[in-house]
Structure 1
Amino acid sequence: MSDAGTIELGGKTVNRLGFGAMRITGDGIWGPPKDHDEALAVLRRAVELGVTLIDTADSYGPYVSEDLIHEALHWQVGGEHYGDVVVATKGGLTRHGPNVWPPLGRREYLRQCILMSMRRLDVDKIDLWQLHRIDERTPREEQFGEIKSFLDEGLALQVGLSEVSVDDIKSAQDAGLPIASVQNRYNLADRAAEDVLDFCEAQGIAFIPWAPIASGSLARPGGALDQVAKEHPGVTTSQLALAWLLRRSPVMVPIPGTGSVAHLEENLAAADVELTDEQFQALTDAA
């Protein structure tokens, strides 16, 4: 993990290849995992391999992911609570069933989200709390104002936004909300958030891409990832996709998720993959 580089986030220096704890829940991100012990093993193995950023949300399960993180890691990774590990969580979505995620940004609901996350994780403040989605039915000043109060009251050390535009980030900043991280869908094949990434890099905001491994046709036989993989025996196209992300920007913090220890180990090995300038450019130009 040393080759992934580091970034300051949640009050600590974290490795730039983190772990996304969405997939340790049930199908449709609903209910408990099929294998409870494997889910715990994945979390513990991630930390053993050097992961120091675990990203979760109260809506994963719902609540299941946070509960599993507490069971697997609280007081077990050295030091107080989670030791050197930053546990970032999100709030602002409700759950009405598998794969159903309506946003709700009312002031009292956002406060319930962070207070209940603190309770489940058993911490006196959240290292990094992120608004899962801006609720367009609720005035933004209400949402941003309440999140600012989390900082003022010491409920969160840092805050971030998810699936936003550059104008959304500026709107939050204009409301006095310091943004530490942004989570948008971004990967080798889907770079719709390129302008957001560039803005984050210019501002020193951590950019946490979700769905970081999705690469579509680029991973198919004859595709750009497949071609580069032939030059790296034993390296998978998923590892190459993560290696490209890590090189793309110093503020990039991929959080590949899985419910399998074997897949976790494969993903984290991407930190050791070195792309040549030519390979990086070929993948950059491919999409």
Structure 2
Amino acid sequence: MTEDTLIAHESGTFEIAGKQVARLGFGAMRLTGPGIWGEPADREECRRVVRRAVELGVQLIDTADSYGPHVSEEIIREAIHPYPDDVLIATKAGLTRSGPDEWAPVGRPEYLRQQLEMSLRRLGLDRIDLFQLHRIDAKVPLEDQIGELRKFQDEGKIVAIGLSEVTVDEIEECRRIAEIVTVQNRYNLTDPTSEDVVDHCTREGIGFIPWAPVAAGELVEPGRLVDTIAKRHEATPGQVALAWLLARTEVMLPIPGTSRVTHLDENVKAARLALDPEEVDQLTRAAREAA
């Protein structure tokens, strides 16, 4: 045990699927090869990353059937199965892969069901705590897509439903079909375009999972705002970006990802970084101006 054991718990908690999880989680997309395709360069190091994340108190581990495809889910099982009771594995379905960096939405109910069954098998689970629609498929009625996920709930194969890359209107349309507990959109200091979704989730008590959370762009250049705040706190720019997200709203659930233990340790220490309200406001204004 080290002094940093369970440090992720310092980020606060949020309830998903009946579990209180540390708000700072881990995104498992990078446990794959280039273009989120195929094997990672060092599979054993990736397994060490997942085990270390749990040691550091991370409880929300987010993956998807399309990461690899399949590779990320397999590595998570290899690393920490049987899962600790307080760890929540979240996965997604609804994007197909035809090659590196190629993604195509498929929301046909029979496809979503197939992918759920395969994820259950790969993860070694009888039930998935959080199952997310990776993208809404415009070619399939939304009621068929969310309705199928609702059937999974009724059958006891999943506990809770989440969405990814959606608008406020789409969230509300989905909520008329089933309860939605999380939304996962791109959101960071250089891309605050989902700010209206963040505000909506805050009002409604829906967990918001920002992907690509550590991007900070020009703001990290020497003498710029993120760099200045990082030096003031003896932190890294990435830690500042994550601390800003955690301070932005109590429903924020950042999931920084990596395939290296040293980078993971650095990311999770953001749970300990307390920005003052003026710094949070400065960063929020800078993000809006950079958009």
Shorter-chain TM-score bucket reads over 0.9
SS in 2 for 1:170: helix
Q: Which amino acid aligns with 2:24?
A: L
1:142 matched to 2:135? The reply is: no
Tell me the residue number matched to 2:228.
227
Q: Is the 8 A contact 2:9 2:58 kept in 1?
A: no
Percent of aligned positions that are identical: 57
In the alignment, the residues of structure 2 paired with residue 130 and residue 239 of structure 1 have an alpha-carbon distance, to the nearest angstrom, of: 27
What number of residue pairs does the alignment pair up? 280
In the alignment, the residues of structure 1 paired with residue 231 and residue 53 of structure 2 have an alpha-carbon distance, to the nearest angstrom, of: 28
Match of 2:49 among 19, 42, 49: 42
In the alignment, the residues of structure 2 paired with residue 82 and residue 25 of structure 1 have an alpha-carbon distance, to the nearest angstrom, of: 23
1:51 matched to 2:58? The reply is: yes
In the alignment, the residues of structure 2 paired with residue 230 and residue 161 of structure 1 have an alpha-carbon distance, to the nearest angstrom, of: 36
What's the CA shift string for 1:47-87, capped at 9, x where partnerless? Answer: 00000000000000000000000000102xxxxx4421000
For residue 230 of structure 1, report the CA deviation from its aligned partner: 2.4
Tell me the residue number matched to 2:176.
174
For residue 285 of structure 1, report the CA deviation from its aligned partner: 1.4
Q: Within 5 Å, which residues of 2 pair with 1:249-260?
A: 249-260=249-260
In the alignment, the residues of structure 2 paired with residue 144 and residue 46 of structure 1 have an alpha-carbon distance, to the nearest angstrom, of: 31
In the alignment, the residues of structure 2 paired with residue 151 and residue 204 of structure 1 have an alpha-carbon distance, to the nearest angstrom, of: 20
For residue 122 of structure 1, report the CA deviation from its aligned partner: 1.0
Q: Within 5 Å, which residues of 2 pair with 1:138-287?
A: 138-175=140-177, 177-233=178-234, 235-287=235-287
For residue 247 of structure 1, report the CA deviation from its aligned partner: 0.5
In the alignment, the residues of structure 1 paired with residue 265 and residue 281 of structure 2 have an alpha-carbon distance, to the nearest angstrom, of: 26
In the alignment, the residues of structure 1 paired with residue 85 and residue 9 of structure 2 have an alpha-carbon distance, to the nearest angstrom, of: 18
For residue 109 of structure 1, report the CA deviation from its aligned partner: 0.1
Tell me the residue number matched to 1:78.
none
For structure 1, list consecutive stretches of 5 or more residues without a partner in the other structure: 76-80
Q: Which amino acid aligns with 1:128?
A: L
Match of 1:15 among 15, 18, 22: 22
What's the CA shift string for 1:117-175, capped at 9, x where partnerless? Answer: 11111111100000000000111111111111111111110010000000000111122
TM-score for both structures, normalised by structure 1: 0.96
> Which segments of structure 1 move beyond 2 Å, counting only runs of 4 or more?
none
What is the CA RMSD across the aligned residues, in angstroms? 0.9
TM-score for both structures, normalised by structure 2: 0.95
